[in-house]
Amino acid sequence: MSTSVPVSMIEEAVYHIEQKHTSWNIQAEVETTATIDIDQLHEAARTACKHHPIVGAKMRSATIADSRYVWELPDESEIEDIEFDIEVFDAGEITVEEAQNRAYFQKFDLTEERPMRALVLRGAGIDGGDRLLVSLHHSAVDGVGTLQFTQAVCQAYRGEPLWQDSVSFAESREWLDDLEPSSILDTFNFLDDGIDVIDKVARQLQNTVDEPARIAEDREPDDPDWGWRFTRRVLDDDVTDAVVNDRPDGVSVNDVFLTGLHLGIERWNEDHGKRARKISTMMPINIRPDDHFYSASGMYTMFESIHTRKKHRADPMEAAREIAEQTSRVKDRDRASAPYKLMRMFPDEVPLGIKQELPELLRGPGHRIWDTAMLTNVGKIPVMPSLSGDDGRERPWFTPPVWKGTPVGVGVATYGGQVTFTFRHRREVLGQDAAERFSDYFLDGIAEAIDAA
């Protein structure tokens, strides 16, 4: 029998944004030398769901008069009967970009389907192997959750025992309970995180006055006005070594990547005759406890904006230090959780019909609060998802969602000393050649930032 679990406020917000705007999913893609057995892949997904049941869940149908959504988590016997949406195409039938948009651009109806769909593109992997494209709905999982589930699918596909999470999904929900204030007074305790709540709101409102720059468009006249493009880069070994070993004190590896993105956007806009006064990057914050950073496949992420102004970027090191000062504040778990506490202030009785309309505020003037770009760094991942087990012969792709106001998202993953960047671009902003060049601007920005150290 399925288990009912209330949808959290974070999950609800993401779900509503997708319903009103565009697909909010995470790309988990693997190019492999293997020829994928589809029946075996279905079975591997079911096995992975036994450890990460949120990916096998459905959302209970709700009316606009209801006040909460509810996940229906399947038990093990129900999981055995799940048939995931897995499509199969030959590389000659559709291009990789067409396959990616088929896999990732479609919205999910979570009352009718599981928050995971996949597509296998025959012959589009390495040396004639296949490519596995996995789309996971962001209201069900975040970047760490995507890594957890994809890893589990690959381990099950290879017939290996799955890594055991140190905490179950049910136990992980208690992390959110720990964040909730017991009263409004607790939320607005100005000696604690109430200041963080006010600061967060104030900084977002400031964007309506000092709007973040938009990435200059560079597209061909016949480019589609919908959909996404994807590019991938690997950081050179010498730059990686410098980023890890020669960066200034107080500046993290991720701070260097953020700096590179800000510098790259500024140069890109300058070369296209467009100003970039304020640049703002959305940075997800993992609010799992420190000792469970890679535990539990779920949605435990809040979002913060990291910005620089032109005066900071005149000196790459000043830009890096400005970014480091901001990230050191927002990485604190209590501060990152402050917006969640703010959301929990709203009475539980507020009807879904009202809450569903809140994302409409992001249209028109609300567009001004969107960040310039997004960067998600899952850090040094313990094990690279691999269908064949031969990690050196597979290429992973991972990106966060993007939308019209924030048309470029970068997913960062580090494994075995190699840093990979995967970019998701809105096609109406960047053409294919432009998307490749923009990726190079970002790498040049990282090199510039570390050279100035």
Residues 148-185 pLDDT 10s: 899 999 999 999 998 877 788 888 888 877 665 444 44
Which residues share a beta bridge with 379?
A: none
Q: Provide the pLDDT for residue 25.
A: 95
Per residue in 246-285, pLDDT (tens digit) is 998 999 999 999 999 999 999 999 999 999 999 999 999 8
Q: How confident is the model at residue 214 (pLDDT cuts 50, 70, 90)?
A: very high
What is the maximal distance between C-alpha atoms in the chain? 62
User: For residues 398 and 414, is the Cβ–Cβ distance under 8 A?
Assistant: no
Residues 6+ positions from 227 with CB-CB distance below 8 Å: 101, 105, 426, 427
User: For residues 352 and 385, is the Cβ–Cβ distance under 8 A?
Assistant: no
**In the structure encoding, which two tokens stand for residue 427, read together?**
């096609």
The boundaries of every CATH 3.30.559.10 domain in the chain are 3-176
**Backbone dihedral region for residue 302 (phi beyond 0: left; psi -120 to 50: alpha; all else: beta):** beta
Q: What kind of fold does domain 3-176 have according to CATH?
A: Chloramphenicol Acetyltransferase (3.30.559)
E strands, 404-443, are 408-415, 418-426
The boundaries of every CATH 3.30.559.30 domain in the chain are 182-451
Cα distances (Å, whole numbers) of residue 240 to 68, 360, 417: 46, 42, 8
The stretch 300-312 carries a mean pLDDT of 92
435, HSE (Cβ side, Cα atoms, 13 Å): 25
The whole-chain average pLDDT of the chain stands at: 86
Cα distances (Å, whole numbers) of residue 325 to 187, 319, 374: 25, 10, 18
User: Residue 246's closest CA among 320, 137, 178?
Assistant: 320
Domain 182-451 has CATH 1.10.3720.10: no
User: For residues 72 and 57, is the Cβ–Cβ distance under 8 A?
Assistant: yes
User: For residues 26 and 395, is the Cβ–Cβ distance under 8 A?
Assistant: no
Note if the pTM is more than 0.95.
no
